[in-house]
Structures are given as C-alpha cells and as structure tokens.
Structure 1
Amino acid sequence: MAYEFANCLIDPEKHLFVCDGLPVHLEPQVFDLLLSLVGQKGRLVTKDDLVKTVWHGLSVSDATISARINAARKAVGDTGRAQAIIKTVHGRGFQLNVEVRAATAAAQTLDLAHSDTQNIKFTRSSLGARIAFSKSGNGPPLVRVAHWLSHLELDWHSPVWRPLIETLDGKNTLYRYDQRGTGLSSRDLEGADIDAFADDLKAVADANNLNRFPIFAASQAVPVAIRFAQKYPERVSGLVLYGGYVKGRALREAAQGDIDEETILGLIRAGWGKADSPFVNAFSTLFMPDATPAQLASFVKMQTETISPENAARLRQIIDRFDVSEVLVSIRAPTLVIHAISDAMQPVEQGRILASEIEGARYVSLESRNHVPLPQEKTWTTMMHEVRFFLDSLQL
C-alpha cells in the first residue's frame, strides 16, 4: 500500500518516494526509516525500533541515526529547526507531525507517470529471437547483461532491482534487456546456448549503435559477458562481474555449500510462482535469504510474469552448463569481480577463480549471504562504491 503525507507519497512495493509530484531518490536506509515513521502514523518510533527495522538489529551509533533522520527531513522538505513533518521527541525517539493516509489511485497513477522514464524497444537476435531492451539515464553508455528472471517493466518498480537501476543509470546511460525466454523477449529457448545469449547482447549493442562500452553482469550473465568479451574484445571497455561463475553447477565439482542441479530443478517444478508454497519460499531464500517480505513478494510475482515453470527449468539446465574456463586467459578488458562470501547459489570459489584467471582483475568480497544484492545490506554501499569507482576510472 502507498501512503500520502504532507506533500509526499511513499510506495514500499515500488520502492518509490515522491515529493511535490516528482520522484526523489532515497538511500535504502533513509527510505526504510521514513517508511517506519509513516507506518506508525504519528505514534512514537523509538531509536530501538529504528535499529530493529532499518538496521535489522545491528549496532549503530546515535550519529548514524541522526544522519539518516536529517536525510529524511531533507527529502520531505523539513529541517531540524522547523520539525514541521518529522518531530524529535528528545530522549525517546521520533514521530510524524502530519496526517498519514492511504494514497488515492489518482495520486499513484500520477506519480508513476513522473517516474516511468525508461524507453523500451525491440530488436532481433540469432535464430529470430525478439529481444526487448530499455534505455534510461544520461551519460556514458553502460550495458547490463540480462540474467535469471528479468522483466523490464517489473524491474523498473521492483524493490529488489530499482535501487540497482537507479545507481547504475545515475551517471550513465543504462541499457538493459530481457534475455530470450524471459520477460518481454521471445519465450522460445529452442537452440539456446551461451553463444545465443552472447548474440542477444550483441543485438542490443548494435541496435543502439554502441561500438565500445563497459558491461555490468551478475550471476549467469557473467559467463555470457565473458564470452562476448572474448568474441568482440574491441567492443568491451570494462567488465563488472558480480556473483558469477566459470563453470555451471552441472559441470563443476561441488564445493562446500554448493547446491546440486536436481535440488534447484525440484524446487522450480514444485512451487514456481505459488506465493503460499513452501517450495517457492525455499527457492527464493536461496537467492536472497535476507530479503524483506515486499522483496520476496516481488520475486514471486516476477516468476509468474517472466517465464513458465517448464521454461524456467529448461533455462536453468542451459545456464548450469555454461563453461568459460578455457577463455578467461584471453580477456584483456579491465575487470572488477565482486562476490558474496556466503553466496548459496554460486559459491565464492567461482568468483575467486574468475579474479585469478582474468589478467589484472580486481577482486572484492562482500560479507553477505545474498546472491541478489539487497539495498538494505551494509555491504550494498561498499559494492556500489566499488562499481562507481571502477566505472569512473574507465573515463580517465
């Protein structure tokens, strides 16, 4: 449910905050703090309450809380002196000073129109596959390679993916696309292999006249990006590789914590897209064990809207057989490898192999267990800083 207060609207499902009719970017902790205040509708929210809901029980200083409160005040047009909207109750906590009400349908439609600025088009790839792609932001080009479960329209309002999109297109023109078999692209996976997925990336680059560009790739998109960089080295100026792998789970020796292919396929076939299924909860938890209820609900909705259970199982069988182990030594593009240490979907050893075999690659490990990066994690800031620094360095 979206809420209105003063001249603002906040929508947790879309991770959207609007003030004076215009969307405003909020850091994840500031968004969650403001949502906590709104949810109490004028009742007192103690510092302990904020630590529990915003920082998930982690130890934080009063200075950190004060900094986030100040950022929230700035976002709503308030100040610490005026406290017209966010009031400090000294020694106890904080509360909203204004009425909170459920947002009207008209208000939500208006605000969505303001924030919906991506431009979706289509192109053709190999074997006649129709590939949907989008463009957002301004600045030097950056291509985000399609990965497991994407949908250009749903991602745009997802509490999981929207923060990442906003970070990537904050200083770049971001090009995203749905890989064949998913989202708005052709659902046919006939003949699909790693070269076909690399063709999809090339088709999007060609359609946008991108001759040379950096790539952001996560999970299964990592071997696709590597394959593309091997085939077209002159077109890749840099690689950001998050949570990726060298060999798919069907080909590699099982590492500690690695999950076998049959377990994954069994969870897909038993509970795909069923919000009340224990199988889908188990499956979702593998990807993001620290997700909020809203993020998990978004993940389940993505399943039903993106791909059928049969195609989901087929796609996993395809990507679990990707193997770029023989081509890593040929990659010469500047490369940043990031991996969560306790990733259950792709073991950290795979990230270390990537970084050790690609010449000159920089490696960053995250103290996290989430395969999907979540904006409420402490490691989110570290990851985004590393990505931004790397992309900026390519412009020097």
Structure 2
Amino acid sequence: MTARVGTSVQSIRFARSADGVAIAYAVHGNGPPLLIDKCWLSHLQFDWQSPLWRHYLVELGRIATVIRYDERGYGMSDRDVADHSLQARVADLQAVADDAGLERFALLAMAQGGPVAIEYAARHPGRLTRLILYGTFAGDQLTAAPEDLELYETVGAIIRVGWSRPTAEFRRVFTSLMIPDGTEEQMRSIDDLQRLAVDAETAMQARSHRVVTDSSARLSQLELPTLVLHSRDDRAQPYQRGRDLAARITGARLVTLESKNHIVLADEPAWPVFLREVSEFLAPDRVTAPRAADDVIATLSPRELEILRLAAEGRDNVAIAAELVLSVRTVERHLQNAYAKLGLQGRNARTAAVARLLAHT
C-alpha cells in the first residue's frame, strides 16, 4: 500500500511479530535508515497528513530513509491484542527491523517508546549505529513525584470516561498536556487521533503494562552514540527524565529544547534546533552509508524498475505478471536480478528493494 503527499511517497507494509501479531510499518525518504518508535498514539495513514507530524516526516525524510510503525493494538496494526508487555513490544521492533531488511540502523524513540528502545539497544548493541531519545524516559514512573502520580491517575480516568465519546471535551485535556501552545487545528488533530488510533479498553490495558515497565537498569550498558532531546517545560514528560537519561548513559549529550510542547511544533524556535541536532547527529551514517540509492537504482533495467514499482503498490508476482503480460517465472527472474544488483538476499529482499526504490523516488 502506498500513499503520496506532494512529492513524498510512503509504502505501508506489515511485519509478523514473534507471537503472530501483525505490525504495520511505513517507509519513506532517502538516506541511511532511521527507525522511529513513536509509540502508542499513532496511525500511519492519519499521521502522514497530520498538521502535527507532517513537518517531522517531510524533513526527516530528506536526511534519512524513515521507517516508523504503529504499536500492537494501535493504528493499522492488529487491534485485538492482550499482551502489551515490554518483551512483546521489543519483539515488535525487532520484527519491523527484520522485515524492512535493516542490517544496521539509527533508532529514534519518542515518548513511551523509550523503554523499548533502551531494551533493544542493550540486547542488540551491534545492530544500532546510534540512538536518539526524544521526550522520553527509561521507566519506573511509580517512583515519580506525588503530583506526577496524581496526573497519571487523572489521565486514566479521562480515558475511561471520555476516550470514545464523539465530542472531544475529555480528550482535549490530554491534548492540552501534549501541545499547550498548539493551534486549534493542531489540537483537533490530536483529539481525532486519540479516538482513531486506539479504543479505550486497549489504551487502559496498555497503560497498566507501561506503568510497571522499566529499562533503567539497562542504561549503564549502552555504549553507542546517544542524543537526548527534551523540551524544558514538557508537561507530558517532565524535563528531569531527559536529564536522567543523559546522566546515566555514557557519553550521551543532552539538548534542551526551549518549548512547552511535548511534540515540538513547526512554527516555534525549538523546531529548527531539533532538526539541526538530529541532522548533525545522523551525519556520520550518511558518510559511511553504502552506495547512494540513486546510484544503485540507476543500475536497474527499465523492466526491473517497472516490476519493482508494481511491487511497491502491494501487488504480488501473479498480479504483476498479469499487468505486464509476462509469465510469473519471468517476473521472478527480473526481481532476482534487481535484488542481486541492490546487494539484497533472503526473505526480506523484496521489502528492502521496495524501500530503496521509494527512497529514490
């Protein structure tokens, strides 16, 4: 499945996690791979055109091949899911990385994605080139200050009472914590996303797991370049959590964003700071990345390109053969030739080849 906004295209795919849950993920952009664990409040198609997320997706797609996914139970991933444990969520991240054919990649964790990313980084130190932690934490929220615990309980009550209501009065409380400086359009976008991304029951089940999820013990084990970004007056995730991450990860650098917003908005001074810091942090990956996508794609024949474009639309080999009036065997041969030119092999070669094509588009 593909979607286009302006000149940008995202391809939506599905990875199968260890327990069989289907995890939806999207690929767009050009450059070294950057996998984003944006965590629970997401919907791949809705976010693609959201006034809250478009500046992130457009700008990050100019410096990296962006892979992002909907968590289990949320967005376009399987909804009827009972297991929201840390173990399951780490397996989901692993499944997406494998299905997308990523050998080594940078990982960006936002919000409640922090514990998952930290756990994954500790388990797979050779898989990541670098780690970005944005507006997030390691866990252990139950030792938070009393006012933080009171806020946690209040948000839980709001979810139970108002999450599924057609009007957004209850959801707006949560929205105001996320982007207190947001425009009405941006706030409506989060209001709508809450109800679209997840139902109230799933949201409560997931929260019950996350409040006891803690990867703090892993922080001292991380030995990779790490960038921590956090808004100074973040109301959803207190600034102290970002400071704690930077203090406990060897060599980590903390960048303070002068903002009240948990999600930095496109028109505030903190946004170019965020973008500059991330771009400069990822620069070594661009220098050491394999041959540029444009150069590699240029080696494909017109027929190989045509077949790959149809594969990017989600068509299988039988449908591609019918469209081009070829035999299935001929389609398979062209695909194998394309994989060889792109240096790909194995069960994830098709997904990786499509990602390379989309990055070139």
* TM-score category, normalised to shorter length: 0.7 to 0.9
Superposed CA RMSD in Å reads 1.9
Quick one: structure 1 residues 337 and 269, their matched pair in 2 at CA, closer, same or farther if it must change by over 3 Å? same
Distance in 1 of aligned mates of 2:271 and 2:8: 24
Matches within 5 A, 1:265-284: 265-274=156-165, 276-284=167-175
Partner in structure 2 of residue 302 of structure 1: 193
Letter in structure 2 aligned against 1:200:
D
Partner in structure 1 of residue 253 of structure 2: 362
Distance in 1 of aligned mates of 2:37 and 2:163: 24
5+ unaligned residues in a row in structure 2: which ranges? 288-361
Contact 2:17/2:95 (8 A) holds in 1: yes
Contact 1:151/1:302 (8 A) holds in 2: yes
Secondary structure in structure 2 of the residue aligned to 1:128: coil
Match for 1:125 among 17, 31, 44? 17
Contact 2:34/2:64 (8 A) holds in 1: yes
Per-residue deviation, residues 234-262 of structure 1 (Å, max 9, x unmatched): 1011011101112243x223176665321
Partner in structure 1 of residue 42 of structure 2: 150
Contact 1:189/1:315 (8 A) holds in 2: no
Matches within 5 A, 1:56-135: 114-115=6-7, 117-135=9-27
Match for 1:312 among 203, 209, 226? 203
Distance in 1 of aligned mates of 2:83 and 2:213: 14
Distance in 1 of aligned mates of 2:168 and 2:186: 16
Quick one: structure 1 residues 237 and 293, their matched pair in 2 at CA, closer, same or farther if it must change by over 3 Å? same
Distance in 1 of aligned mates of 2:165 and 2:269: 30
Q: What TM-score results when the alignment is normalised by the length of structure 1?
A: 0.69
Deviation beyond 4 Å, 4+ runs, structure 1: 111-116, 255-259
Matches within 5 A, 1:151-166: 151-166=43-58
Q: Does 1:141 align with 2:26?
A: no
Partner in structure 2 of residue 376 of structure 1: 267
Contact 2:14/2:22 (8 A) holds in 1: yes
Match for 1:263 among 135, 151, 154? 154
Q: Does 1:239 align with 2:131?
A: yes
Q: Does 1:332 align with 2:223?
A: yes
Partner in structure 1 of residue 301 of structure 2: none
Match for 1:289 among 180, 195, 213? 180
Letter in structure 2 aligned against 1:327:
R
Once the two structures are TM-superposed, the CA of residue 321 in structure 1 deviates from its matched residue by 2.1
Contact 1:243/1:338 (8 A) holds in 2: yes
Match for 2:120 among 215, 228, 233? 228
Q: What TM-score results when the alignment is normalised by the length of structure 2?
A: 0.75
Count, aligned residues? 285
> What percentage of residue pairs aligned between the two structures are identical?
39
Contact 2:5/2:49 (8 A) holds in 1: no
Q: Which has the higher contact order (CA 8 A, sep 6+)?
A: 2
Per-residue deviation, residues 175-202 of structure 1 (Å, max 9, x unmatched): 1111101000011332221121111111
5+ unaligned residues in a row in structure 1: which ranges? 1-110
Once the two structures are TM-superposed, the CA of residue 313 in structure 1 deviates from its matched residue by 1.7
Letter in structure 2 aligned against 1:176:
R
Contact 1:195/1:227 (8 A) holds in 2: no
Quick one: structure 1 residues 131 and 230, their matched pair in 2 at CA, closer, same or farther if it must change by over 3 Å? same
